[in-house]
Structure 1
Amino acid sequence: MQGQESELIERHAPLVRKLALQLVARLPSSVELDDLIQAGMIGLLDAVRRYQKMPQAGFETYATQRIRGAMLDELRSQDWLPRSVREKARRIEQAIHALEQSLGRAPRESEIAAHLELGQDEYLMLLQDAQGVQILHYEDFEYDGDGLEAVMRPDVVTANGADPLESLLGGNLREVLVQAIDALPEREKLLLALLHQENMNLKEVAAVMGVTEGRVCQLRTQAINRIRARIRDQGWDQRPDELVSMQIL
């Protein structure tokens, strides 16, 4: 048994590094890659020891969730997101929420900037500064054929091994999330689909959309805050910073 465990750990160690690199690319520079890898290896070891063959979940699927969960636990323990970043993200989110209520639609960038009494360039800088706030792991969702609806994958297992629909989303949060993503402007839906359905990196997404990598980051931050505003509007605001998956990051 010990030999089998060692073999699984050695075979999937590259997966830990891959997931850590994906995560750290979306986080502030203060987050150390080695810390995430170390936490991820602990998650992998836990996955190896707990895994039992399931008809709908292979070991790599199970291990991925354990590894990612261990990394998120490490981030929470470090309180990795500066207060200033949280405050900037909250300003954007509150502005979006207020405008959606008054306009009955997703507000344009210029409208959000005006509501915040900022120039367009100042607002774009605020989006840049607010990077890092997450909402959910988009990797745990996939789009339907039209790319408009997020669907929980049946073979995903959460970090603690429980059913994801019960332990992560619960109630009607999944439905609210679907609606929030569907309500995004088409450009931001495309961006999220490229990042999390097509697994493109920022450079590739920038090339497809004909913008800079910095602009991709701004649009992603704006999309995340639109989703957060919609979820809060539906009453899911008790522990908003614990609703993580996004990286999104």
Structure 2
Amino acid sequence: MYTPAGQPNRDELVQRFTPLVKRVAFHLMGRLPANVLVDDLVQNGMLGLLDALDRFEEGFGAQFETYATQRIRGAMLDGLRANDWLPRTLRREMRRVEDVLNRLEHEHGRVPSEQELADAMAMPLADYQRLLQDARGHQILYYEDFGGDDGEDFFERHLVDRSGDPSALLEDKNLRENLARAIGRLPEREQLMMALYYEQDLNLREIGEVMGVSESRVCQIHSQAVARLRAQLLGDVQSVAKKRNKEKTLG
């Protein structure tokens, strides 16, 4: 993988790690709507791979593969965001789902069923499930998701101390612990689906075979599970922001 001069052979390294780019792309495709093309993901992922090759300085073993995977996936997500792949109306509808989820959980003290959510949104269950199917990929979280329809960023509206890094909110240990607890609160079927997808690396078709449902139904279950998690995590971010504002005021 090195030239006679002792420099990394870029062409050979690209060829070696191209299968990694494709693997990340096909895994990500399982969470994206049908209008997203895998070739576009691969193209953006290759840019991430090249960036990783330029930045990494400690060899090209397992540690590099872990690092490269993050850069590849990040480049793919950046490409999706730049192309505005999820319609704003659909994103708005999923935010409404999350608001209803929060309200029902607080009212009943438990996780609401799909039928309860559909009733609260005044739509037939079949229409609600179709919304979940159309919204596959909404689980990709951007900072823009914290903004309002007026374009004002969530952090600008709720954080008094703007000198800090907003990403610290997402990386906070308590938030990670809250995520683990939120996953534990999911209905058993949704927990199983998440474990098969994120821990066992099964694709949607394989998960459907394990669970005895169609691939489209797995997609709906996944969107529903992530909507529950997003609703809880966004609520946690709001709580953290309010606490910071209060402490800043008192201080």
Tell me if TM exceeds 0.5: yes
Indicate yes or no: 2:108 matched with 1:103. yes
Q: Distance in 2 between matches of 1:195 and 1:106?
A: 21
Contact persistence 2:169–2:175 (CA under 8 A): no
Q: In the alignment, does 2:226 pair up with 1:224?
A: yes
Aligned to 2:213: 211
Q: Does structure 2 conserve the Cα–Cα contact (< 8 Å) formed by 1:188 and 1:219?
A: yes
5+ long unaligned stretches in structure 1: 138-164, 239-249
Q: Which amino acid aligns with 1:212?
A: S
Identity of aligned residues (%): 49
Alpha carbons of 1:176 and 1:126: their partners in 2 closer, same or farther (altered >3 Å)? same
- Larger RCO: Structure 1 or Structure 2 (Cα < 8 Å, ≥ 6 residues apart)? 1
Shift of 1:28: 2.2
User: What is the rounded CA distance, in whole Å, between the counterparts of 1:225 and 1:237 in structure 2?
Assistant: 18
Query: What is aligned with 1:177?
Result: 179
Structure 1 residue 6 corresponds to structure 2 residue 11:
yes
Indicate conservation of the 8 Å contact 1:135/1:224, yes or no: no
Q: Is the 8 A contact 2:182 2:232 kept in 1?
A: yes
Deviation at 1:171, TM superposition (A): 5.3
Aligned equivalent of 2:28, options 23, 28, 38:
23
Residues 1:226 and 1:80: Cα distance change in structure 2 (over 3 Å): same
| Structure 1 residues 149-189: Cα deviation after superposition (integer angstroms, max 9, x where no partner) | xxxxxxxxxxxxxxxx9695235321221122111111101
1:1-249 maps to which residues of 2 (within 5 A)?
Answer: 1-53=6-58, 58-135=63-140, 169-170=171-172, 172-236=174-238
Deviation string 1:189-209 (CA, Å, 9 cap, x unpaired) is 110000111111111111111
Partners of 2:36 and 2:77 lie apart in 1 by 12
Q: Is the 8 A contact 2:30 2:204 kept in 1?
A: no
The amino acid of 2:226's aligned partner reads: I
Does the 8 Å CA contact 1:231/1:237 hold for their aligned counterparts?
no
Q: Answer whether contact 2:33 2:134 (CA < 8 A) is retained.
A: no
- Of structures 1 and 2, the larger Rg is shown by 2
- When the two structures are superposed, what TM-score results if normalisation uses the length of structure 1? 0.76
* C-alpha spacing 1:217/1:57, structure 2 compared with 1 (3 Å): same
- Residue in 1 that maps onto 2:147: none
Q: CA deviation at 1:3?
A: 4.4
- Kindly report the root-mean-square deviation, in angstroms, between the aligned alpha carbons of the 2 structures: 2.5
* Whole-angstrom distance in 2 between the partners of 1:25 and 1:182: 23
Shift of the 81–180 alpha-carbon distance from structure 1 to 2, 3 Å rule, reads same
Residue pair 1:85, 1:131 contacting (<8 A) in 2 also: no
**Contact 1:5–1:49 (8 Å) recurs in 2:** no
The answer on whether the counterparts of 1:173 and 1:236 sit within 8 Å (CA) in structure 2 is: no
Please report how far the alpha carbon of residue 7 of structure 1 lies from its aligned counterpart in structure 2 after TM superposition.
2.3
CA distance 1:59–1:227, change in 2 (3 Å): same
Q: Quick one: distance in 1 between partners of 2:113 and 2:30?
A: 27
Q: Structure 2 length normalisation: TM-score? A: 0.76
